[in-house]
Homo-oligomer: A and B are copies of this chain.
Amino acid sequence: MPMKRSERLVAMTHFILDRPRELISLPFFSEKYDAAKSSISEDLGIINKMFQHEGIGYLESVSGASGGVKYIPAFSKEYSEEFVHQLCRRLEDPERLLPGGYLFMSDILGDPEATRSIGRLFASAFRDRDIDAIITVATKGIPLAYAVASYLNVPVVIARRDPKVTEGSTLSINYVSGSTRKIQTMVLTKRSLKEGSKVCIIDDFMKAGGTISGMKNLLNEFNAEVVGIGVLAEAEDEDEERVVDDYISLVQILNADDRKGSIEVIPGNLLNYL
């Protein structure tokens, strides 16, 4: 028995939300839900209208024989601003201050709801860039990288500080950590990234930018092109010039001083990209 429209809308909404950026054809829906193409077309109109109304993105129509619709997650500026401001307030807690001007953020990085929202904001900001993969370096950027990747529907590649036996052969580079000035190693499994990929770097924290600059060098070895850089939090670095520019940040940490117990957190530049 065919479904009623009301029932079909529930099923289709789930199906579409579950497949961001995947092209789904009208005939596919028509067969799956045993409904005329004209009905499916009306359904998609309602879904598109409501996605925009709810501020979660829109359905992009692709015309032609192999056409259909794609759900493009693009979260509203209103939603994004509210989330960023809440995050600033949550981070602006002197109890988070750690020696060296670092900030305890593991609770936020460990909260799937927060990481999902962070992923949404970056995916929205990067929505028009042509991205093949997200890359991060272990450990703390990993949940953010997955959150972004799941809304952009691309794989995640994880660079490590140490090679592991269960990874196969690797490519490695040395780089200078911005904050500690120590020489560090970064490795990436050879078969984890195709030559010539367009990648977006995601990380939790950037001070001088040494780690991200290291990732860029490593990606160079794979002839990969960096088409975007996103960091959750950027912090001031008094000692040196930042080695990375052209990045998107969610928040900016100012005047973090664990001795004085002072800290200020303000929105980063991400909101300008929405």
Contacts and interface: CB of A to CB of B under 8 A. Distances in A.
A102 B163 CA distance: 14
Interface in A152-168: 153-158, 160, 165-168
Contact of A106 (B140, B143, B167): B167
Contact of A110 (B14, B50, B53, B155): B155
Oligomer: number of copies: 2
Interface stretch (A84-92, A111-119, A218-226): A111-119
Contact of A150 (B102, B116, B142, B189): B116
Interface string A223-244: 0000000000000000000000
B13 A192 contact: no
Interface of A: 3, 5-7, 9-11, 13-15, 17, 46-47, 49-51, 53-54, 56, 98-100, 102-107, 110-113, 115-116, 138-140, 142-143, 146, 149-150, 153-158, 160, 165-168, 189, 191-192, 205
